[in-house]
Structure 1
Amino acid sequence: MSLEWIRQAQHAGIEQGAGSGDLLDCAMALAGVGAWCCDLADDTLHWTSGTYDLFGLPRGARIDRRDTLSMYGEESRATMERLRTDAIARCRPFTLDARIVRTDGAERWMRLTADVACNGRRPVRLYGLKQDITEDKARLETMRRIAEQDPLTGLANRQLFQSRFLDCAAPMTPLGALILFDIDGFKQINDRHGHAAGDACLESVADRLCAGFSDALMVARIGGDEFAVLTGPGSPDKPLQQRVERGLERLSMPIIWGDKLLRLSASAGIAETLDPHAFDAEALFAAADAALYAAKHAGRNRVHQAMPETPRAFLVKRAAHGSANRHRA
């Protein structure tokens, strides 16, 4: 719903009488939309019914801008004030999706659309729309979660791991290490007990990894029986290898499935960063994968740690990667 449409509709309402204006106000409120105006001389606010409803305030009640500002989430309030100042200085519109907390404690999301009315070159008022987009936000969040979440385990899926880590120009930082886990003999569990038993094992592995690495930046299922854990920089009193070894012990505990006890184990490969803020994600993955392969080759149910790459090696790889990209371009 555009500001120009509102201006035209309000003008038509004025020409046709109060009834048309009331009808427009009711229709906008029904759609979760409210119009608003703020006189810049004294910050006096004028709202339609939909705006009162959005904030959970009685229609027609006296409103103070300072009170309404306190209902914005901290980040939304700071962003709105910055955009508002810029809009007034430059006499240009802005749009913002802001989080608010109503008087009844309910959290809502609204789309704030604003423009500046000027007298000559002097801004005299701000006006626009406030629209409730809470349900739209919830739907988008659900869609995002479905797209980024493994449906069986609830962990991050391969797509999210790829986009946030491997393919990201600036992967999540500070990063301590990448740990890759692979279930030993998972195919035999599926072949002997069926896929339902295999699914139960995967769910249990996911739960145990989350419990063992509750402070992880990400725990992801990146393949059928492959998992990845991204950790922040570790503390000296808890070496990462010891944490992973303890994690393998948890994964080796039997899983109750119906009247059966399912037993499995896992192998792990660790690749740590020397600089938590400067690393090559693909090189780190290759190192962790090689360490995982070494653990498998050495007899499984164990962990191997890759040699960390030096800062010089990282810079050389970066330079070579950039040169190759320029050559391809």
Structure 2
Amino acid sequence: MYSELIARGTTGDIAAGAATSLEQFHRIQDLFDKTFRVSRVGIWVCTLPDEKLTWTDTVFDLFDLDPQSPLRRSDIVALYTPGSREALGKLRSAAIADGQGFTLDAEIVTGKGRTRWIRITAIVERVDGIATRLFGMKQDITAEKMMFEQVRYAAEVDPLTELASRAKFDSVFSDIYAGRDPLSYGLLLIDLDGFKAVNDRLGHQAGDQCLAMAGQRLLKALPQARLIARLGGDEFAVLYPCETTEALRGAGHRIVEALEYWWGRGSDKLKLTASVGAALIDRDIAAKDVFSQADKALYRVKAEGKGGLQMASEIDITNAA
């Protein structure tokens, strides 16, 4: 009799323990589901070779699709932007062929037409060396990308003129010398003559507006420029694609013409001009030396009365002031 009671009690304890374990499992599963939803992370699976997709609800949310809608991989791939679609195709093919997986930040246009960035992580499952399944996570990183873009914009764009910043100029100038851009370029350095009088007589707000106007005139005059930057104050720089001194000279004259204008009203109207120094970029000469050549040509113009262009190749750089 005692043995029966013990047996019944043990069986009951086991059943109760199993129920408790199952309840805990469901609680943990629910916690994971809620955490993934808050984090905007979803799980995806793609079997091979039939390419059948299975998604958790969060992935459907990321793509703005109804969880009850059919999943066809060709339809989903079409929601990626061209660049992301190409990158995904290459990484996926390589992973299936012989890779262990990949991570990709991809841009999509959702089923509701919204642009979104997702981070895809993929793992390859193999049987006897053959890829049979891809699975991983997709996470919404749109806010992260927007923050990064804001930081990048602040670093690379001059807030006053919306031209490139000095940091961006230095970066592109270095890229040209590193061979990451195979084209030939010329460097033009520009000082806005008469700008100090604008600040002194019309105030700094008028000066800021004057600089913004100068930036717009430069953009309009040189639409083919690789980069137009404000280096600081009333100083600008242009990296212009060209192979000959004559082509660079033509760009310089367009700058001089574009930056000859009046600013202000009535008796406070002031005339501005531009002094420009130009040098062809020779990759056999150090970047700092090419910059110095253009800078010395610029100051030759200023020393001789301002408002004009001087080619570095037409002066004796070694004796230039």
TM-score over 0.5 (shorter chain): yes
Q: What root-mean-square deviation, in Å, do the aligned CA atoms of Structure 1 and Structure 2 show? A: 2.9
Cα shift readout 1:247-276 (whole Å, capped 9, x = no counterpart): 3233121123698423221100121347xx
In the other structure, the counterpart of 2:7 is none
Instruction: Report how far residue 199 of structure 1 moved.
Output: 2.0
Q: Could you list the runs of 5+ residues in structure 2 that have no partner in the other structure? A: 1-20, 315-321
1:258 to 1:38, Cα distance in 2 relative to 1, 3 A: farther
Contact 2:242 2:248 in 1 (8 A): no
Quick one: which amino acid aligns to residue 52 of structure 1? F
**Cα separation, partners in 2 of 1:84 and 1:184, compared to 1, 3 Å:** same
Match of 1:179 among 185, 188, 194: 188
Q: Which runs of 5+ in 1 are unaligned?
A: 1-12, 309-329
Residue 301 of structure 2 corresponds to residue 283 of structure 1: no
- Is contact 1:190-1:198 (8 Å) kept? yes
Q: CA deviation at 1:20?
A: 5.5
1:111 is aligned to 119
Q: Are residues 1:165 and 2:151 paired?
A: no
Residue 242 of structure 1 deviates from its aligned partner by 3.5
Output the CA distance in 1 between the equivalents of 2:33 and 2:65: 16
Give the aligned partner of residue 298 of structure 2.
292
Rounded Cα–Cα distance in structure 2 between residues aligned with 1:273 and 1:134:
40
* Cα distance in 1 for residues equivalent to 2:285 and 2:86: 33
- Kindly state the Cα deviation for residue 226 of structure 1 after the two structures are TM-superposed: 0.8
* Partner SS state of residue 159, structure 1: helix
Distance 1:199 1:98 in 2: 39
Is contact 2:202-2:268 (8 Å) kept? Answer: no
Pairing 1:231–2:240 present: yes
Gap change, CA 1:16 and 1:90, over 3 Å in 2: farther
Match for 2:214 among 202, 205, 212? Answer: 205
- Give, as a single letter, the amino acid of the residue that structure 2 aligns with 1:134: T
Which position in structure 2 is the counterpart of 1:41? 49
| Contact 2:187–2:279 (CA under 8 A) maintained in structure 1 | yes
1:307 alignment counterpart: 313
Judged with a 3 Å threshold, the aligned counterparts in structure 2 of structure 1 residues 195 and 172 are, in CA distance, closer, same or farther, namely: farther
Amino acid in structure 1 at the alignment position of 2:67: R
SS for the counterpart of 1:282 is helix
Q: Residues 117, 245 of structure 1: CA spacing in aligned structure 2 closer, same or farther, 3 A cutoff?
A: same
| Number of residue-to-residue matches in the alignment | 293
Tell me the distance in 1 between the aligned counterparts of 2:122 and 2:266: 60
Q: Which moved more, 1:279-288 or 1:157-166?
A: 279-288
Hey, what's the Cα distance between the residues in 1 that align with 2:200 and 2:147? Answer: 39
What is the TM-score of this pair, normalised by structure 2? 0.81
Report SS of the residue matched to 1:182.
strand
Which stretch of structure 1 is more off in the superposition, 24-33 or 68-77?
24-33
Give the corresponding residue for 1:315: none
- Taking structure 1 as reference, are residues 53 and 108 closer, same or farther at Cα in structure 2, changes over 3 Å only? same
Task: Work out whether residues 254 and 262 of structure 1, in 8 Å CA contact, stay in contact via their aligned partners in 2.
Answer: yes
Q: Secondary structure at the match of 1:108?
A: strand
Partner residue in 1 for 2:231? 222
Paired amino acid for 2:53: L
Once the two structures are superposed, what CA deviation does each residue of 1:182-237 show, in whole Å capped at 9, x if it has no partner? Answer: 0123333333333333222212211111111122111101122110011123799x
Taking a change above 3 Å as real, the CA distance of residues 260 and 33 of structure 1, as seen in their structure-2 partners, is: farther
Aligned residues: percent identity? 40
The CA distance in 1 between the partners of 2:241 and 2:23, in whole Å, is 64
Indicate the larger mover: 136-145 or 180-189. Answer: 180-189
Offset of 1:142 from its aligned partner?
0.3
C-alpha spacing 1:22/1:306, structure 2 compared with 1 (3 Å): same
Larger Rg: 2
Q: How do 1:1-329 residues align onto structure 2 when only pairs under 5 Å count?
A: 16=24, 21=29, 24-166=32-174, 169-170=178-179, 172-233=181-242, 239-256=247-264, 260-273=268-281, 280-307=286-313
Residue 318 of structure 2 is matched in structure 1 by none
**AA at the equivalent of 2:104:** L
- Paired letter, 2:147: R
Please give the alpha-carbon distance, in whole angstroms, between the structure 1 residues aligned to 2:279 and 2:34.
61
- Aligned-partner SS, 2:290: helix
How far 1:124 sits from its partner (Å)? 1.8
Residues 300-323 of structure 1 show CA distances to partners (whole Å, capped at 9, x for unaligned) of 101111229xxxxxxxxxxxxxxx
1:92–1:115 Cα contact (<8 Å) kept: yes
Superimposed CA distance per residue, residues 80-115 of structure 1 (whole angstroms, 9 cap, x where no aligned partner) = 122112222335121010111112222211100011
Name 1:324's counterpart in structure 2.
Answer: none
Residue 59 of structure 1 aligns to a residue in which SS? coil
Counterpart-to-counterpart distance in 2, 1:287 and 1:171: 23
Q: Which moved more, 1:143-152 or 1:129-138?
A: 143-152
Letter in 1 for 2:294: A
8 A Cα contact 1:164 1:172, kept in partner:
no
